[in-house]
Amino acid sequence: MTTRIVDQTDLLNTPFMRACRGEDSHSTPIWLMRQAGRYMAEYRNVREKVGFLELCKTPDLACEVTVTAVEKLGVDAAIIFADILLILEPMGAGLQFTAKDGPLINKPVRVAEDVTALKKVDPESLSFVFEAIKKTRQALRKDIPLIGFCGAPFTLASYLIEGGSSKHFAKTKKFMYDSPKTWHALLDHIVEASIPYLLGQVEAGAQVIQIFDSWVGCLGPDDYDAYVKEHVAKLIRALGGIAPVIHFGLASNSLLLQMQAAGGDVIGLDWRVDLAESWSKLEYRCGVQGNLDPTVLLSNRSEIEKQARKILAKAANRQGHIFNLGHGVLPETPVDNVRFLVDCVKRLSVR
């Protein structure tokens, strides 16, 4: 028992956890979205033996790829290997990942009856994620915090309605505008499922939660307020401050204030925004995470260093900056460039 308390104290004082709380640290913490993925040979080796969903559902393997990424890169935080779409399976929507088309939902939501037909999610049906978190927490170094995560209600609803990935989110928005009542019922259902899922992840050993609203940037601010904000706010409120929350959206420059109002200790920024300007717009009332363009990692060392420096300069040693990409590591990224970035940020940000 004593050991556990000591371990948590160590964890809570790491640069990453301190930044999540807006406290100072000796250097800027860095981790990368999709740090465990296809760009890494170790990951591809595991994937040669098992399918993506099977990997997610095998706690020993999920733990292995999570920990390998941290050890190989020297990042300051781990993110549990899983996927935002896993929660859609116990809803009865049917989930498949194909090499060509990415995720596919077998029974998309198109009419009100489809929403009523969605099953209430028993958190036990996602126990493989909790198990993976427990194993990973034990396998990780004691000074590496573990991030749990979920998809935000809008982004998950978009997969349910579109039946997979989408470019214009036309079906999603039509559904939202045509049937607002059903839309809100759908988002309620997603939030009700996500609350115990996130609480279970924290209980299993995650120190921080990231909420991925990857596709919400397709909405304008008024629609965000009308159709999304209350649902995200409810989800974050329900966590009751049990762990810091990182609230991430892609291409959501015009929504930053709305997203901040919905909640989160740290707001994720993508590369399309100026970090200094955005943080100032948020009045420094939260931390920020970001915001290197992932394609910079396809280039060369001098460009990577130049761009890392620029971002650190924009953050100006303020408390509460977590270095990250503006979106996930791309599959064609050279691992050496990723390691170089991590070293750069550590070297350049020492105070």
Residue number, 182 or 210, with CB nearest to ligand CP3: 210
Q: Is 47 in the site for ligand CP3 (CB under 6 A)?
A: yes
Q: Looking at 77, 84, 118, 193, which residue binds ligand CP3 (CB under 6 A)? A: 84
Is 83 among the residues known to form the active site?
yes
Q: Is 35 in the site for ligand CP3 (CB under 6 A)?
A: yes
DSSP output for 125-143: GGHHHHHHHHHHHHHS-TT
Closest separation in Å from C-beta 181 to ligand CP3: 26
Contact 184, 133 (CB under 8 A): no
Contact 293, 326 (CB under 8 A): yes
Closest separation in Å from C-beta 20 to ligand CP3: 17
Burial 56-72, CB ≥16 within 10 A → b, else e: bbbbebbbbbbbbbbeb
Q: Looking at 26, 41, 60, 102, which residue binds ligand CP3 (CB under 6 A)? A: 102
Structure tokens at 11: 């964890």
Binding segment (CB under 6 A) for ligand CP3, from list 83-91, 289-297, 304-312, 335-343: 83-91
Q: Is 165 in the site for ligand CP3 (CB under 6 A)?
A: yes
Place of tokens 């990409």: 325
The DSSP secondary-structure symbol of 104 reads E
Q: Looking at 19, 20, 30, 36, which residue binds ligand CP3 (CB under 6 A)? A: 36
- Using CB atoms, what's the residue nearest to ligand CP3? 214
E-strand stretches of the chain: 78-79, 95-98, 102-105, 146-151, 208-213, 245-249, 266-268, 287-292, 321-325
Q: Which residues are CB-neighbours of 95 under 8 A, at least 6 positions away?
A: 53, 85, 86, 88, 89, 103, 104, 105, 106
Closest separation in Å from C-beta 255 to ligand CP3: 15
- Rounded to whole angstroms, the maximal C-alpha distance in the chain is 57
Q: Which of residues 239-268 bind ligand CP3 (CB under 6 A)?
A: 250
Q: Looking at 29, 59, 200, 328, which residue binds ligand CP3 (CB under 6 A)? A: 328
Coil vs helix vs strand at 210? strand
Of the residues 159, 197, 224, 227, only one is catalytic, namely 159
Q: Looking at 38, 107, 173, 309, which residue binds ligand CP3 (CB under 6 A)? A: 38
Q: Is 272 in the site for ligand CP3 (CB under 6 A)?
A: no
Contact 321, 19 (CB under 8 A): yes
C-alpha–C-alpha distance, residues 26 and 311, integer Å: 17
Closest separation in Å from C-beta 1 to ligand CP3: 31
Is 272 among the residues known to form the active site?
no
Contact 264, 286 (CB under 8 A): yes
Residue number, 33 or 190, with CB nearest to ligand CP3: 33
Residue number, 90 or 182, with CB nearest to ligand CP3: 90
- The residues of the shown chain that bind ligand CP3, judged by CB under 6 A, are 33-38, 47, 52, 79, 81, 83-85, 97, 102-103, 149, 165, 212, 214, 250, 328
Hey, which residues are catalytic here? 34, 38, 47, 83, 159
